[in-house]
Amino acid sequence: MTLEGVSKSYGAVTALHSVDLSMKAGEFFSILGPSGSGKTTVLRLIAGFELSDSGRVFIDQKDVTAKAPFERDVNTVFQDYALFPHMTVQQNVEYGLMVKKVGKVERAAGARAMLDVVRLGGFGDRKPGQLSGGQRQRVALARALVNKPKVLLLDEPLGALDLKLREEMQVELKAIQQRVGITFVYVTHDQGEALSMSDRVAVFNEGCIEQVGTPREIYEKPETSFVAQFVGTNNIFTADRAKALFGDALKATGSMVAIRPEQIRLSKTGMANGMSVRVIAVQYLGADTRIHVSVDKQTTVIGIGASEEYKGMLVGEDVWLTLNN
Amino acid sequence: MTAVAGAARRLTAFFRARPLARLFAVLGAPLTWLVVVYLGSLALLVASAFFKLDEFTGKSNGQLTFSNISAVVTKSAYRSLMLRSVLIAAAVTVLCLVIALPVAFYISRLASRWTKRGLIVAMLLPLWSGYLVKVYALRAMFEPGSEFGSGGFLKSVVGWSPGFGYVAVIFTLTYLWFPYMLLPVYAGLERLPNSLLDASSDLGAGSARTFWSVIMPMLIPSIAAGSIFTFALSLGDYITVKVVGGTAQMIGNIIERVLLAPNQPLAAAFTLWPVGIMLVYLAAMARLGAFKNL
């Protein structure tokens, strides 16, 4: 799967600026970005729902730039699932096979096997309206996978689910992907989702790729301040400013320095080479607590640590800040 | 002032405690209207079909008879007239549908915002002008011409006109009732999410397959709702037939003639045909989901 210099605009709005992207076979590839960053446009261009203004799209070395969606060996799981409400679950999953004129017995068996894969074995006779959000999601997945596409596109498929179900589905999606061995292209605005499931992540901003890399590379070595900010709620400073604030405690190269919240350590007891800061906000997150402190009038730093350790820190208190490298 | 306010409060308290009284206060008047005026007159119509007519006075003499009913059911001329009326109404419905589908699809899916608004207004505009105006306008269109006068628009511009007859009747009724089919079909298409069409295409279906397997099944309730208008309005029409039908006849014409004969009992017996057919038709459309989106 390769995109070469793909651009797309809607009227005066440019959604994509000459994007180059390539994915390996069998890879779980995430496209991460805020809304309006062009990530869904990339997906629609790969699927063929939109045609690019310039550039080319290759699937399995074949140029499909001008091909219609039904001529591409790609299937999509839609954000709203897009299940056909007048068909049963079984008919929904069989649809792609029926269109390809697969025999009745064979396609019924194929659909049933795929429903088993997504753990919806006994649900074939129901209508989509009788299923819960998570079940519809899995039907949509089965309906796409039963066609054995080269690439499966997923457009924020977990967006409509509650947190608990979303976490379960993340694990399940990854397991299914490894079992079927199909390339997954997963669009999301949730950095946690992208980091936890992907082999590689592309971070998009304003129609351009900011960085492509493994989740670890993206999180630990962000190449741009946007990536640092979007992926890790990071504290970003110019090199000079960082030097002035934290002195030599910071081993940094390059013009910008990003400090991840978990690198910040706060303590009520004075510490050598510590810096006195004032707590301005405390967010209790369960296992962790996030604390915003002001270093000076202009600068706020966000730190995160175990709630156990940070309990008793109050807004307005002066505490000591040190850096973990 | 306080007395009025106190009375209002007492009234509110009265209705608050009595849900039945509340229901009657809200629905009483419209329900009475519906039952007395609408259903009552229908009942009178059915009842009058069983009265015997005095040949000399032209009035009912109070005796009961089945002869009116048996005449309209058994006479083959009446039966074939009824069948013809049903076929005309069906042809009008099918024509309306065949035209409405692509037009509604274009308006809802392809047209730009302003084109869309313009087209909807254009489609609804004819509803704001009178029935007779439109029918006579179409008469001018179909006028075949004779040795005494030149023909209408079709004859003089196209050089050919079907003249007055069944073709003109079907065309005119289609023109008259088209908006009633277009609107529900358009509304149905608007309700159809784009992602369903994308999904069908994504799963390998071409446009024809998507149309028959996804769009049509989901539009059936809308089409059924629209067809009730086009079918019922066509079945009961008699003015269009008189204006552009030439020698053509529909059930409405017979009813009118018999009524003015005057033979109210026989006319009433005739109306039982379209009433019965419409009841069957409504039941069939209800099964297709025509009333699901009310």
Q: Which residues pair with A2 in a beta bridge?
A: A22, A58
B202 touches chain A (CB under 8 A): yes
- Contact predicate B169/B234, CB 8 Å: no
Residue A44, min C-alpha distance to chain B (Å): 10
Q: Do A85 and B204 touch (CB under 8 A)?
A: no
pLDDT in tens, B80-124: 888 999 999 999 999 999 999 999 999 998 888 899 999 999 988
- Residue A325 is predicted with a pLDDT of 62
User: Which of A192-196, A206-210, B158-162, B260-264 shows the lowest mean pLDDT across its residues?
Assistant: B158-162
The residues near A187 (Cβ < 8 Å, ≥ 6 apart) are: A30, A31, A39, A40, A42, A43, A153, A154, A155, A156
- Residue A61 is predicted with a pLDDT of 86
Please report which confidence band the pLDDT of residue A12 belongs to, taking 50, 70 and 90 as the band edges. confident
Per the rule left: phi > 0, alpha: psi between -120 and 50, beta: everything else, B163 is left
Q: Do B205 and A47 touch (CB under 8 A)?
A: no
pLDDT in tens, B229-259: 999 999 989 999 999 888 888 989 989 998 8
- Contact predicate A5/A55, CB 8 Å: yes
Cα dihedral B177→B179→B181→B185 (10° resolution):
180
Kindly list the strands in the beta sheet with A288-294, ordered across the sheet, starting from the edge strand earlier in the chain.
A264-267, A318-323, A275-284, A288-294, A300-306
3-state secondary structure of A81: coil
Cα–Cα dist A98/A90, whole Å: 12
**How many degrees, rounded to 5, is the angle at CA A96 between CA A48 and CA A7?**
10
Residue B196 has pLDDT above 90, yes or no: yes
Q: Which two tokens stand for residue A171?
A: 């694990």
B208 touches chain A (CB under 8 A): no
**Torsions phi, psi for A15 (to 5 deg):** -90, -35
Residue B175 has pLDDT above 90, yes or no: yes
**Location of structure tokens 């309209």:** B72
What structural domains and CATH numbers belong to chain B?
2-48 (no CATH), 72-293 (1.10.3720.10)
Nearest to B193 among A80, A86, A143 (CB): A80
Per the rule left: phi > 0, alpha: psi between -120 and 50, beta: everything else, A55 is left
Over chain A, what is the mean pLDDT? 89
Residue B38 has pLDDT above 80, yes or no: yes
Q: Is the dihedral of CA A196, A201, A205, A206 positive or negative?
A: negative
Residue A295 has pLDDT above 90, yes or no: no
Mean pLDDT across the stretch B159-166?
81
Q: Which residues of A touch B (CB under 8 A)?
A: 47-49, 68-70, 74-76, 78-80, 82-86, 95-96, 99-100, 143-144, 147
**Location of structure tokens 């590379």:** A217
Over chain B, what is the mean pLDDT? 88
CA atoms within a 13 Å half-sphere pointing along the CA-CB vector of B192: 28
B198 touches chain A (CB under 8 A): yes
Please report which confidence band the pLDDT of residue B220 belongs to, taking 50, 70 and 90 as the band edges. very high
Q: Which two tokens stand for residue A249?
A: 């405690």
Please report which confidence band the pLDDT of residue B149 belongs to, taking 50, 70 and 90 as the band edges. low
Residue B216, min C-alpha distance to chain A (Å): 11
The residue of chain A nearest to residue B216, with distances taken between CA atoms, is A86
Q: Do A147 and B204 touch (CB under 8 A)?
A: yes
Q: Which residues pair with A22 in a beta bridge?
A: A2
Per the rule left: phi > 0, alpha: psi between -120 and 50, beta: everything else, B8 is alpha
- Contact predicate A265/A322, CB 8 Å: yes
The residue of chain A nearest to residue B217, with distances taken between CA atoms, is A86
Burial class (CB in 10 A: 0-12, 13-18, 19+), A255: exposed
The residue of chain A nearest to residue B195, with distances taken between CA atoms, is A82
Q: Do B199 and A100 touch (CB under 8 A)?
A: no
Q: Which two tokens stand for residue A28?
A: 């779980």
Percent of residues, chain A, with pLDDT higher than 90: 50
Find, among B91, B83, B53, B90, the residue nearest to B268 by Cα: B53
Cα–Cα dist A224/A218, whole Å: 10
Q: Do A69 and B198 touch (CB under 8 A)?
A: yes
- The two beta strands, A28-32 and A54-59, are unpaired
Residue B35 has pLDDT above 80, yes or no: yes
Suggest the residue from A44, A84, A127, A156 to mutate for an interface test with chain B (most B CBs closer than 10 A): A84
**Torsions phi, psi for B56 (to 5 deg):** -85, -45
Chains A, B: CB pairs < 8 Å? 58
pLDDT in tens, A111-130: 999 999 888 989 999 999 99
Q: Do A99 and B195 touch (CB under 8 A)?
A: no
Q: Which two tokens stand for residue A203?
A: 């971070």
Residues of B in contact with A143 (CB under 8 A): 203
Suggest the residue from B112, B192, B203, B210 to mutate for an interface test with chain A (most A CBs closer than 10 A): B203
- Residue A184 is predicted with a pLDDT of 95
Q: Do A96 and B201 touch (CB under 8 A)?
A: no
Residue A172, min C-alpha distance to chain B (Å): 23
Residue B49 has pLDDT above 90, yes or no: no
pLDDT in tens, A220-262: 888 888 898 888 777 888 888 877 777 766 665 677 788 888 8
